[in-house]
Amino acid sequence: MIANFILGLVAASVRRPVAVALLCLALTAGAIAYAAGNFAMTTDTAALISPQVDWRKNEQAVENAFPHLKDSLLIIVDGETPELAESAATKLTERLTTDTKQFRRVARPDGGAFFAREGLMFGSTESVRKATEALIKAQPLLGPLARDPSLRGVAQAFGTALTGVEQGEAKLADLDKPMKRLGDALDTSLSGKTAYFSWQELMAEPGSGLDAPKRRLILVQPKLDYNSLKPGEDAVAAIAAHANALGLDAAHGVSVRSTGEVPLNDEEFGSLEENIGFVGAVMALAMLVTLWFATRSAKIVAAIVLSIVAGLIVTTALGLLAVRELNLISVAFIPLFVGLGVDFGIQISVRFNAERLEGLDYAPALTGAATALAAPLALAAGAVFLGFGAFLPTDYIGITELGIIAGIGMIVALLLSVTLLPALLMLFRPGAPRREVGFKEAAPVDRWLHTHRRHVLWAFAISMLVSVALLPFVRFDFNPLHLRNPDMPAMRALGDLIKDPLRTPNTINLLAANPQAAKTMAARLATLPEVAEAITLDSFVPEDQPAKLALLQDAALLLDPTINPFDMAPAPSDAENVAALASTAAQLRKVGTGDATALRLAGVLERLAKAPPSARAKASEVVVTPLGTMLDQVRAPLTAEAVTRETLPPELSGDWLAKDGRALIQVFPKGDSNDNAVLRRFTKAVRAVAPTASGLPVATQEAAGTVAWAFVEAGLLALVLVSGLLFVVLRDAKEVAFTLAPVVLSGFLTLGSCVLIGQPINFANIIAFPLLFGVGVAFHIYFVMAWRAGATDLLQSSLARAVLFSALATGSAFGSLWLSAHPGTASMGKILMISLAWTLVCALIFEPALLGPPRGSKVPTKRGAPEPA
């Protein structure tokens, strides 16, 4: 019945080509108008998997309780010195906080007033003791520096320390480190090079607890526009602009980089765009060249291309009507539609050329082509439609919506192939072919397949067994980070950050009923060998506080008058700076006789005293500017107070305690968190204790399972549905098996090839398998139906030409995705090429050998005896 309907459409198109073409043009114009007015695409990767699966519910529960965990952007501030890093992070945080147009929230997860005051308390009691001892030991330097934070004050501070040496209260060796550091910095500055000097590093001693990091973090939540391909692009640009305005750049010893979920996604889409023009040009050229070789007619190529373009536009409009908005997976309907649309167009056009070669005019040739192809085209389209429909029940929404749109596309492709394409061929009136449409040269291959049929089948059976044996070695890499370009800025920043086990984004989140339950669970998780640390709200309440506070209070009594002087010295003149430098240089020469470090510093100070004022101004920037930051960070810990859960700052407690009383636990992995095996062990261990765990490691592992099961589920359902359709139409289980066996074989061969070349299956390239299924089913249906109709020597037929060039058109066009700058897209192109190559081999070699001679016929075997069909 469907075949008769198709014949009727072709007949109508042949009779009234102008009316059909105008009708299709109007339909296309209407589709353009609808698509333009209703086009929507989300780049939210979280929307690709159903929110109803358990792990997504757990993830959503955490994000609802703690919204700051979603859509985050992490700013990494690195400084040549700890002072530069802290100063830059403070300035940038203040600046971003005022930019309410771009940012909803700005926070310092490792800094701010609370950590400046209480940070020392989080170390051991022994580390606090060493820190306070180091500060007291540095008192002779700190006093003059606090009273006179200038070049004069620096020189006088060293002078005071040298006086202590002269009086026997200290040893010159105690000043070796500060003399060397100051000499290096000032010497570098005098030579015209960029110099950096850190008072914090100077004061710190190993294990003293005063070690200050050169890296600071700022966590922001930007305002995102998911209607844009790069929702966070404006926010990242705003960060760069603010940093530039503040002079936070390499020239000033600071680097500011952005990473995290938002910029990583933006960069991924950016890499998709990077050479899309080149890839698109290669794709179009490959398609056109292959179509020309298939048809040897520019007019036929034009007719096929116009039909495909019109179909793509109509499918886009219908797809938007069906799913409302495209996502990052459903947009793949474009290559699926073009690949199968090209197949329909080539089948009809090549058969049309074969009929024309027999001397038929345009209308009879198109009618003859339709008569021969109506049933196989309808069956192929129906089978592919059901194959894509099999994705509808899965939890992988991205592929479900792809199935909906691609299924609609198959109907559109078939309808336009039997209406618009015949109408255009009637209007364009291409010339008759001048040579054989089939492949006469393939006659020896046909004979060889007949006489060596069993050998060919055994060869494919063995290849099937080898491929099945390789299946356990197929590598599934569903880590989304591995699909990104490692050379992009956000990925480089993440790669650097991920090396720090306590700053890695690969953390697991848990919800507990209350803070006490969270503390108990964290203690249990911390004992796991796969866990580096488990943090809760109580992690910010220091242990052994009385002993630590006593040490800090004793140090404060001694140091307060030193670091908080009542009378500050007025700013010095340049002459006073010169005098102080010269005086200290002279004192160094007197005290440091025979000490190379002291004499070197004396020489540097003398040169600085004799240099132009601009040199001293530059030196002041190097050694005086960090003083303010250092002194603030010395003063703050000496004002530490007892901390309880209730006295924690609201902005901190709000990150760990939800409004409904539930508490957050964050668990960090031990080992290389960028290693999939490490993450799998970590995730498995934590979830064995806490099944409701969520976070990036859980999402990565569970998403892999969801996607893999979606394809297994859809594959099995597609096999059942397509087998049922084929059986209803063909009424022969053997012929159904003949149709599907090569498709299954090509799938196994593709997976086996991936093992041999070391290509993992990932979120991107797994999309190649629906195309493999669709094209494979169509190709084999054509051969089976031709065989059951009595066709012989299939490789010499126009059908073989159509199948060959259909595969080449799809393969060469979409194999050009291999050239993409995006690693995931490039791997998709690679898998497409491999899968289509095996599909072609199975269609042109295995299928004819499997089918054998038509029913009721006998062909001589190699020994001359008849061989049953």
DSSP 203-240: H--TTSS----SEEEEEEEE---TTSSSTTHHHHHHHH
Is residue 117's pLDDT more than 80? yes
Cα gap 415→427, rounded to integer Å: 18
What value does the mean pLDDT take over residues 85-101? 93
The reported pLDDT for the residue numbered 860 is: 38
Q: Which of 654-663, 810-819, 834-843 has the lowest mean pLDDT?
A: 810-819
Is residue 209's pLDDT more than 70? no
- What is the tens place of the pLDDT at every residue in 356-369? 888 899 999 999 98
What value does the mean pLDDT take over residues 131-149? 87
The reported pLDDT for the residue numbered 1 is: 67
The neighbouring-strand residues paired with 74 are 219, 259
Instruction: State what percent of residues in the chain have pLDDT above 70.
Output: 94
Write down the residue that tokens 């001679």 correspond to: 853
- What is the tens place of the pLDDT at every residue in 611-651? 999 999 999 999 998 988 888 888 999 999 999 999 999 98
Place 862 in a pLDDT band, splitting at 50, 70 and 90: very low
- What is the tens place of the pLDDT at every residue in 463-510? 999 999 998 998 877 677 777 777 888 888 888 888 776 678 888 999
| Of residues 302 and 767, more confidently modeled | 302
Q: Which of 695-704, 723-732, 817-826 has the lowest mean pLDDT?
A: 817-826
Whether residue 453 contacts residue 849, with contact meaning beta carbons closer than 8 Å, is answered with yes
Q: How far is CA 828 from CA 62, 494, 800, 814, 824, in A?
A: 34, 24, 26, 9, 6
Place 205 in a pLDDT band, splitting at 50, 70 and 90: low
The reported pLDDT for the residue numbered 861 is: 36
The reported pLDDT for the residue numbered 207 is: 52
Whether residue 572 contacts residue 151, with contact meaning beta carbons closer than 8 Å, is answered with yes
Structure tokens at 200: 């914090």
Q: How far is CA 395 from CA 57, 332, 716, 836, in A?
A: 13, 18, 15, 27
The reported pLDDT for the residue numbered 858 is: 45
| Of residues 311 and 814, more confidently modeled | 311
What value does the mean pLDDT take over residues 376-384? 85
680-701 exposure pattern, b = at least 16 Cβ within 10 A, e = fewer: ebbbebbbeebebbbbbbbbbb
What value does the mean pLDDT take over residues 451-462? 89
Place 438 in a pLDDT band, splitting at 50, 70 and 90: low
The reported pLDDT for the residue numbered 45 is: 66
Whether residue 194 contacts residue 254, with contact meaning beta carbons closer than 8 Å, is answered with no
Cα gap 317→29, rounded to integer Å: 11
**Which of 261, 245, 258, 234 is closest to 94 using CA atoms?**
245
What value does the mean pLDDT take over residues 503-521? 91
**430 DSSP 8-state letter:** P
Whether residue 543 contacts residue 127, with contact meaning beta carbons closer than 8 Å, is answered with no
What value does the mean pLDDT take over residues 276-281? 72
What value does the mean pLDDT take over residues 177-199? 92
Place 863 in a pLDDT band, splitting at 50, 70 and 90: very low
Q: Is the dihedral of CA 689, 690, 695, 700 positive or negative?
A: positive
**Which of 798, 788, 805, 806 is closest to 847 using CA atoms?**
788
Structure tokens at 313: 């536009």
- What is the tens place of the pLDDT at every residue in 25-35? 999 999 999 99
